[in-house]
Structure 1
Amino acid sequence: MSYFHAVLLGVLQGLTEFLPVSSSAHLALAPRFFAFPDPGLVFDVALHFGTLLAVLLYYWDTWLRIFQGAARDPRGEEGRQLGLLVLATLPAVVVGLAFESSAEAAFRDPRRIGVCLIVFSVVMAWSERRALERTTWRAAGLRSIFLIGCAQALAVMPGVSRSGATISAALLLGLTVPQAAELSFLMATPIVAGAAVLKLRHLAVADMTGPFILGVVVSAVCGYAAVGAFIRFLPKSGFKPYVIYRVALGLAAFFLAS
């Protein structure tokens, strides 16, 4: 892999991991768009280490407060918050362990990616119109948190988008836009970490080339910038620009497959 391709994929991963446009779809389609060999799932997972670093740094203070508070008083507010995040993570863990490899392989086909991109763009648009926006994730009930976790599990399919699915579900279940986004990114942290660690066994020392390392660094920098920009602009822009982009990309995926 060239340095140019590594930078390109690092930028795509960093920007799209946290935007509701599906990073896995972009990583699967990019080699076809730009006519270079598919680097495969191992490189995809390596790039996830970069975005994991980005979201950890962005929410470091939040995670530190939650863990310190939970350690002092497991039954206190921070202990409850940690419990909610664990509950939200469970569905994706179960689905990921059972189906992730087969789902990612099957859904790397451009036509299937295109279907997921377009179908879930409709879901996102509908959820925004039906949003209730009345509570925070910390005050949400166990049922709501679990359902949002189930939405995250759908992101095992390229084209769905983890943030798109979780924020849409959170809006339908009454969370405000900023709270839905924060919960989505906090939920993503253990999932991205788990996926990367789970596939670490496929990574050999020989894979740690210059382009490989550069891609990870680029994905971390772009991911950190994407989280901040998304949180600032989502309350103003809503899902509309992302819905339009997803439909366009979905149609392009069908064109690639023809």
Structure 2
Amino acid sequence: MDILQAIALAVLQGLTEFLPISSSAHLILLPVIVGWDDQGLAFDVAVHVGTLTAVVVYYRQDLLKLISAWFGSLLGKGFNDEAKLAWYVGLGTIPVGLVGISLSDAMQEALRSPLVIAAATIVFALLLWWAEKRAKEQRDTITLLDAVVVGLFQAIALIPGTSRSGITITAGLLLGLKREYAAKFSFLLSIPVIALAGSLKALELYQSGFDILWGFMFIGAAVSAVVAYLSIAWFLKLLNKISMMPFVWYRLVLGIVLIGVFAGQA
């Protein structure tokens, strides 16, 4: 790995982690196009730390309120809207955790096929299109049922190419949530998910005994954090002005490009 590869991959991860366009699809396509070797597990951990830092910093005030309200609910001090939302974030994380644990290494490897990623990119683009067309956007509050449904949809994101943010925002739209609130709940849900995924990758890294190039890791984490923070801010502002259709069309084109690149290698 060189400095250019580290920066490019970190920018790509930071940009695509929170947009509904599938970070896995981009991260598999770029190295193939430019002929790079795999960046390695350590770098994956670093950029996950970066994106986790970005969403925590962006929602730091909300998180402080949620954590305080959650502890308050445990201590019998009431069950206000913030406490409910904190519990719902935890509840929505359970399905993806259970499904992730149940997937064997062979199944995970099979799902990382470029053609599987291409198919998921296209299929879930069409689902997002359908959700956008029938979205009523009536609510900016979430219920217990909403948390369960969005959590179940999030588990589907273990299929690379789905896009975790894309599938959870799709679920929110189908449930009648406003775009901005569906995106906010999606991003709050990402915090425990990214933390768990990053922890598992870090454990794998520790057990593997790989030498770590700390300079590249720092660059990857820092760049992905800055880009992810800006990406979240830009995306939330953009939702006030446009529909989800530009992302739908982008995903469809990306899926077709992936098929074109990898179909001959199947």
Which category of TM-score, normalised to the shorter sequence, fits these structures?
over 0.9
Matches within 5 A, 1:116-135: 116-135=120-139
From 190, 193, 199, the equivalent of 1:191 is: 193
User: Which residue of structure 2 aligns with residue 52 of structure 1?
Assistant: 52
Deviations 1:89-123 (A, max 9, x none): 11111112222754542233221111011111000
Secondary structure of the residue aligned to 2:137 is: coil
Q: CA 1:112–1:248 in structure 2 vs 1: closer, same or farther (change >3 Å)? A: same
Counterpart CA distance in 1 for 2:85 and 2:93 is 12
Do the aligned partners of 1:66 and 1:81 also contact (CA within 8 Å) in 2? yes
Do the aligned partners of 1:17 and 1:223 also contact (CA within 8 Å) in 2? yes
Secondary structure of the residue aligned to 1:156 is: coil
Do the aligned partners of 2:126 and 2:248 also contact (CA within 8 Å) in 1? yes
Which letter maps to 2:225? Answer: A
Q: Answer with 57-66 or 81-90: which moved more.
A: 81-90
Does residue 92 in structure 1 map to residue 77 in structure 2? no
Provide structure 1 residue ranges, at least 5 long, that are not aligned to the other structure.
none
Counterpart CA distance in 1 for 2:124 and 2:62 is 30
From 245, 249, 252, the equivalent of 2:254 is: 249
Deviations 1:145-195 (A, max 9, x none): 101011111111111001110001011111111110100000011000010
Q: Answer with 202-211 or 8-17: which moved more.
A: 202-211
Q: CA 1:213–1:100 in structure 2 vs 1: closer, same or farther (change >3 Å)? A: farther
Q: CA 1:186–1:5 in structure 2 vs 1: closer, same or farther (change >3 Å)? A: same
Provide structure 2 residue ranges, at least 5 long, that are not aligned to the other structure.
none
From 208, 218, 223, the equivalent of 2:228 is: 223
Matches within 5 A, 1:43-82: 43-74=43-74, 75-77=78-80, 78-82=82-86
Which letter maps to 2:69? Answer: G
Provide TM-score, normalisation by structure 2. Answer: 0.91
Cα RMSD after superposing both structures: 1.6
Q: CA 1:127–1:114 in structure 2 vs 1: closer, same or farther (change >3 Å)? A: same
Q: CA 1:31–1:115 in structure 2 vs 1: closer, same or farther (change >3 Å)? A: same
Do the aligned partners of 2:50 and 2:225 also contact (CA within 8 Å) in 1? yes
Counterpart CA distance in 2 for 1:226 and 1:250 is 22
Does residue 182 in structure 1 map to residue 187 in structure 2? no
Q: CA 1:160–1:213 in structure 2 vs 1: closer, same or farther (change >3 Å)? A: same
Counterpart CA distance in 2 for 1:100 and 1:50 is 27
Counterpart CA distance in 2 for 1:186 and 1:170 is 13
Counterpart CA distance in 1 for 2:157 and 2:106 is 13
From 109, 115, 138, the equivalent of 2:113 is: 109
Q: CA 1:41–1:250 in structure 2 vs 1: closer, same or farther (change >3 Å)? A: farther
Q: CA 1:41–1:254 in structure 2 vs 1: closer, same or farther (change >3 Å)? A: farther
Secondary structure of the residue aligned to 2:29 is: helix
Does residue 21 in structure 1 map to residue 21 in structure 2? yes
Provide TM-score, normalisation by structure 1. Answer: 0.94
Q: CA 1:102–1:223 in structure 2 vs 1: closer, same or farther (change >3 Å)? A: farther
Matches within 5 A, 1:162-173: 162-173=164-175
Secondary structure of the residue aligned to 1:9 is: helix
Which letter maps to 2:27? Answer: L
Q: Answer with 157-166 or 68-77: which moved more.
A: 68-77
Moved over 4 A (4+): 100-104
